[in-house]
Amino acid sequence: MQKLDIHTVVKQLDSAITEMKIPYLSKPHIKCDPFRTLIACILSLRTKDKATYEASEQLFAQADTPDPMLKLGAEKIAELIYPVGFYNQKSKQIIGICKTLLEKYDGKVPGEIDELLKFKGVGRKTANLVVTEAFNKPGICVDVHVHRISNRLGYIKTKTPDETEFALRKKLPKKYWINFNRLLVTYGQNLCYPVSPRCSQCKISSICKKIGVKTSR
């Protein structure tokens, strides 16, 4: 097996995903708007990308800024975002976020991780995604795909997504931070599955240690 080179990995993945379906949260009309990015990321938690897309588009058609969103109310928001996971809980989180934005941030989403973490329901994954996608600032958003693939490659050895974020912050060249989530999420959704990944079609199969892979295609 060839030695793992992260520069080669990033280059190959960047080339491979050009023909793949990109995640909803990386689509231009979402990532160019901090509020949409934040709300869509809340909706995406424990929810498949297709459901996130449908729920987000349905919600944003009714309101896509804090004040109109707040006026919809939690019950209406829950109706619009169904069937995303925990839709009732998420509708209340969205109401709380909108209130905080209007009361403390003049209705504008902050572009700093520490500020975003002050919002109820916003964790490190969401905060990192907002600063990288919406503000183009350095951050490492770690979801299940980034956590799984980074460890599967043998690039790092961690047990939780939070551990993965800080391990990558130490090891991954900073020039790759912003796009790392988009690359690995796209690859994870289309090819490098949790169970039985399509290793025979993978451009980096020869340098991947395939840690944890029991069967592949």
Instruction: Show me where the domains of the chain are located.
Output: 6-20+140-201, 24-134
**Could you give the CA distance from residue 91 to residue 82 in angstroms, rounded to a whole number?**
10
Q: Which of 3, 143, 159, 214 is catalytic?
A: 143
Cα–Cα nearest to 102, from 122, 79, 121, 119: 119
Q: How many CB atoms lie within 10 A of CB 215?
A: 8
CATH fold label, 6-20+140-201 = Endonuclease Iii, domain 2 (1.10.1670)
For residue range 68-107, what is the model confidence (pLDDT) as tens digits? 999 999 999 999 999 999 999 999 999 999 999 999 999 9
Instruction: Examine the pLDDT at 30 and tell me if it is beyond 90.
Output: no
Show the 3-state SS of 82-116.
Answer: CCCCCHHHHHHHHHHHHHHHHHHCCCCCCCCHHHH
The answer to whether 150 and 124 have CB atoms below 8 angstroms apart is no
User: Average pLDDT of 147-158?
Assistant: 97
For the chain, give the mean pLDDT.
Answer: 94
pLDDT over 70 (residue 1) = no
Tokens of 50: 């297709």
When the candidates are 1.10.3210.10, 3.40.50.720, 1.10.340.30, 3.90.226.10, the CATH number that belongs to 24-134 is 1.10.340.30
pLDDT band at 26 (very low <50, low <70, confident <90, very high): confident
Residue 51 has pLDDT above 70, yes or no: yes
Known active-site residue 125: yes
Q: Which of 114, 120, 125, 209 is catalytic?
A: 125
Q: Is 143 a catalytic residue?
A: yes
Residue 140 phi/psi, 5-degree rounding, is: -130, 105
C-alpha distances in Å from residue 169, one per residue of 1, 47, 139, 173, 204: 26, 26, 8, 8, 22
